[in-house]
Amino acid sequence: MTQMPHSSLLGLQLPELTLLVEEFGQPAYRARQLFEALYRQRVEALEQISTLPQDFRESLSERGISIGLPGIEKKFVSSDGTVRYLVACGDGQSVETVWMPEGDGGEAGDGSEAGNQTETSGRTWERATICVSSQVGCAVDCQFCLTALLGIKRNLTAGEIVGQVCAVLNDQRVSLPLHRINLVFMGMGEPFLNYGNFMKAVHLLVEGVGIVESRMTVSTAGIVPAIYDFGLEPVRPKIAISLNAPNDELRTRLMPINRKWNLEKLMAAAREFPLRNRENLTFEYVLLDGVNDSAENAREVVELVRGLASET
Ligand code: SF4
């Protein structure tokens, strides 16, 4: 575990919380109370956990242990209701998390009926998608991406990934499971290059926060070994592959990672990906004027994905 286990509670799973409460001489059921408070109730401070005895909360605090919910540094609100959050990481860095009411037009979630309309920030929404970051910066160097200019600063911990979601849900006063929330791991970073923390966060979001994995999608630039591992996960989001070019020459130019895992390897992993009932693969393709958007490119894409159960 990369996170300092005893300073920030957010990011800890039930067995880790159990060890912690035992360290403080508390009965094991206190771990479940902490888990519920952290993830289901999304508390912001220890004092809010009224199920825990006052002296236990004080002892935690005296040892420098806090919830660890990241703060919102800045909010940029667009006229369509999209809110771009700069979420503070503890070390002075920040990542971007985006709230998109009524979905982003691409990932509509599980296809079920929209829930009741809700008003936050003076706007009404039926469902919403949160775009989550997995790293500070990114090492992948896609030529069309601003994050690539930062390079990779560091991986986010599981707590920081879950924390982004909790901070935005709290700010938007979301009540789960009443409201329909989709998550897309398409923010800063390549989730499959921070695989352990990303998957740990997925489990906490499913089991703790209460967002089902069928409403989550992870986007990868094509980290082929991780695609195979991901297919074997018992609990996992849907997968989207960032394609952006239909041949190796162009894809290597746009996404240098294609040198390591070329289209043949990537498409083999896509073909072998164990899809679930009613699940499709998604391919993302950023249209760049005069670069990858010719009729010939379109024909090549059709050939590439022929026979796959996919959405583009
Ligand atoms: S993997 Fe995603 S975040 Fe990283 S450079 Fe490519 S598009 Fe940008």
Tokens of 45: 């401070």
pLDDT of the residue at 125: 78
- For residue 1, pLDDT over 50 is answered with no
Q: What separation in Å is there between the alpha carbon of 158 and the centre of ligand 1? A: 19
Q: What is the pLDDT of residues 72-96, one digit of tens each?
A: 999 999 999 999 999 998 788 999 9
Burial readout 143-172 (b: 16 or more C-beta within 10 A, e: otherwise): eebebbebebbebbbbbbbbbbbbbbbebb
Nearest CA to ligand 1 atom 6: 142
Element (H or E) spanning 31, and its range? helix 29-35
Ligand 1 neighbourhood includes 142 CB (under 6 angstroms): yes
Q: What separation in Å is there between the alpha carbon of 123 and the centre of ligand 1? A: 31
Closest CA to 159 of 278, 277, 16: 16
Average pLDDT along the chain? 91
Q: Which of 5-19, 120-134, 146-160 has the lowest mean pLDDT?
A: 120-134
- Under 8 Å CB-to-CB from 271, ≥6 apart: which residues? 307, 308
Average pLDDT over residues 164-176: 96
pLDDT of the residue at 140: 96
Element (H or E) spanning 99, and its range? strand 94-101
Residue in the structure block whose two tokens are 């899809």: 275
Question: Torsion over CA of 10, 14, 15 and 20, rounded to 10 degrees?
Answer: 50
- For residue 115, pLDDT over 80 is answered with no
Q: What is the pLDDT of residues 22-35, one digit of tens each?
A: 999 999 999 999 99
Average pLDDT over residues 85-108: 81
- Exposure of 6 by Cβ count < 10 A (0-12 exposed, 13-18 middle, 19+ buried)? middle
- For residue 124, pLDDT over 80 is answered with no
pLDDT of the residue at 43: 97
Contact between 107 and 184 (Cβ < 8 Å): yes
- For residue 10, pLDDT over 80 is answered with yes
DSSP helix/strand/coil, 6 = coil
pLDDT of the residue at 112: 41
**Alpha-carbon Rg for the chain in angstroms:** 20
pLDDT of the residue at 312: 58
User: Which of 132, 133, 150, 190 is the pocket-test mutation for ligand 1 (most atoms within 8 Å of CB)?
Assistant: 190
- Under 8 Å CB-to-CB from 60, ≥6 apart: which residues? 24, 46, 66
Ligand 1 neighbourhood includes 138 CB (under 6 angstroms): yes
Confidence of residue 105 (pLDDT cuts 50, 70, 90): very low
